[in-house]
Chain A
Amino acid sequence: MGRPRNFDEAEVVRRAADLFAARAYDGISVDDLVTGLGVHRHSLYRTFGSKRGLYLAALGWSSEHRIAVLAERMAEAGDPYELLGGPLRDEALGPGLDLLLLALVERAPQDREVARIVAESFALLDGVVGRALGAGGGPGVESGREGRVATGVAAALLGLRALDRAAEPAVDAPAAGSALLRGLDRR
């Protein structure tokens, strides 16, 4: 099997999640990964099998450590109208949303494993939104009007994050999130 691993695998996966959150999957070469992660190319192959293997590990880590934490914080938010604003202002957890967004757009349509991890992450957000909006139930896409509203609001979080990533955002994304929830509440 060659040399034993001489790097911290968990740390490499965390940093890979940051790299994949910042740029398109096809825009990151193995050279970029070798440079950005400071790990020898052959070690990367030995440990993760392929660029996709590393990507899946990074996406899974992000779902477990960033999206899950984000969902917990959303669940604890005192002001229900700030349900979307809080995550949008959270710089530490933002890359988790970015990676989820990029994975959803880029890789999920062609890679079932990516689609599965994305669905798990989305179910966490969806479940929190559903409970906050009074739809009840656990995580996952729920049936019925409330469930569909929760899915729509959770999807809006990703859209607002995308708008917020612009170099000079044309909208105040947290305020738009808050306005969306107030608008829904009046119906």
Chain B
Amino acid sequence: MPDSEAQFNERSQRRLSHDLRALYAAPPVPASVDEEILRALEPAPARRRPWVLGTGAAAAAVLLITGILAWFGPPPTIDEQRKLAHDVDGNQRLDIVDAYLVAVAAERGDAPLSWDVNGDGNVDVLDATVLAQRVVRLPL
């Protein structure tokens, strides 16, 4: 008898549920806890001004973009690399001081081989001359 079996099952489930609820009855929640929860859900009285938040976000965005550009920026071109290859004093600019330093080191005889501007295998006054001619060259 499927109908009576179904009724039996439904009654059993209801009874089981009732018994379990009676067995593990939840303790009553104190009113103070409810009040605390409700107070926490209320919006804060002194919120941050929107423009402060906007400025901070803009500054963060600028910093982020600057960092990305600096990190992934275009590498120096071959011309730039060649131009700065003999930047002896390391000021990121080729000028007559670089030629002077090459000449001084060549005269002392302690110039590093990386200062061989004309590629003849040694560093001498000719390298300083070539460098000096390069720094006064006008663009085409």
Are the chains A and B members of one assembly?
no
A residues with CB within 8 A of B: none
